Amino acid sequence: MNVIKKRIKIAVAASAALLMLVYLYKTLMTSPTVLIAANSVEEQRHWPPTEHAEQRKLQNAYEAQTALLHQQRQEMFRTKEQLAQLEEQVRSLQASTPRKYPKVKYLNYKNRKRILITGGAGFVGSHLVDYLMIQGHEVIVVDNFFTGRKRNVAHWLGHENFELIHHDIVNPLFIEIDEIYHLASPASPPHYMYNPVKTIKTNTMGTINVLGLAKRVMAKVLIASTSEVYGDPTVHPQPETYWGHVNPIGPRACYDEGKRVSETLSYAYAKQEKVQVRVARIFNTYGPRMHMNDGRVVSNFILQALRNETITVYGNGKQTRSFQYVSDLVDGMIALMASNYTQPVNLGNPVEQTIEEFAHIIKQLVGGVSEVKKIKAMEDDPQRRKPDITRAKRILNWEPNVPLETGLLKTISYFRNELARSDRFQENSRKYFESPDMERQLT
């Protein structure tokens, strides 16, 4: 009985397969392609000999071209496979080849510190990273890359003493460290005015998180404050004892008042929770790795001069600023962190210059045909800004050492290279989008 059932099943399967083959045959024979081919063959029988020969030549040429295209496609696929293999080999070689890092000191575990730098991928933070790494410490950078750039610290990626964490300090952070440099905050007017609420959060909630972390692990913390806490000062030069003259609802208030609250929080934690705090009031700083379009005086003037554009001075140009080179600032922060002094300390250059004078200095150093032009003044633009660094000299034995011209030449060289890099990128992008292959893709 079972044998009969099996034979019936086999017969049914065979019948189904035969029906399927018949159906496929009929479908193929009635398809437009087959009919056209059949008709063409039938027509060829009635062609005169000359026409038949010409059609045969065309057919042969078409078949040869098709074969060539097929061969080229096969070669292209093989080339792509070889390129993929080469790329994989290059990646493996890069991973296995030790990278060359700047030479660092060796410190034993007693002297080596784990140091956290919030905003460490930014302009000032990245220079501080370089100094601490070369000194032999372990450095952990925390940055949300709002204004910071990974390229600023890329030369340390992979080093055993370096760690980069993509994190917004507005959210709590749990990590074991010995010292904290809290530099996280937009610092140029276009950046902190772009998102004033975020700026306030970074300088309040971010500072609370940093101080809370310092409390938990008993770490020393340096708060990067600013000369903006003095606002548009009525006292000149500005000592640390001056309380400031700030508009609490002006366009700069998100940054000015945010930093003032940051200082208040620091001393509240110091008094109530016994956190070791240091407060650096940083004045105008310049140097390589500045954002080209951050809206600051130095970057604006250098870019305009390099592009032979008009150098624009806001207002009458008589307002004053004092500029320190970034390496001087880093030395000052290191000295302040190492000290036992807990009150705010001004870190800036006491050499004062008007904005108009500074524009002409930049023009002279860069060269070119740029003209200096005065335009409408900005709201709440401080008219005078000059630090009194008596406290820094007395307590830290610190003062700026880099001459203005020396620092500006280094900064101009950096900006010139950045512009050339940007121009190359734009030119390559233009060539790519204007290429025939890209045009065919877009059409």
Active-site position among 181, 192, 255, 325: 255
Place of tokens 């460490």: 120
Distances (CA, A) of 18 to 22, 164, 179, 331: 6, 68, 82, 90
Helix axes 326-338, 123-134, angle to 10 degrees: 60
Look at the alpha carbons of 128, 133, 136, 140 in this order and tell me if their dihedral is positive or negative.
positive
* φ, ψ of residue 223 in degrees (nearest 5): -95, 125
Which residues have CB under 8 Å from 135's CB, separation 6+? Answer: 104, 105, 107
C-alpha 270/C-alpha 342 separation (Å) is 9
C-beta of residue 321 within 8 angstroms of C-beta of residue 297: yes
* φ, ψ of residue 430 in degrees (nearest 5): -65, -45
The rounded Cα 403 to chain-centroid distance in angstroms is 29
Q: Two tokens at 183?
A: 């530099």
Which residues have CB under 8 Å from 268's CB, separation 6+? Answer: none
C-beta of residue 364 within 8 angstroms of C-beta of residue 341: no
Whether 255 is a known active-site residue: answer: yes
314 has which bridge partners? 375
C-beta of residue 313 within 8 angstroms of C-beta of residue 321: no
Catalytic residues: 255
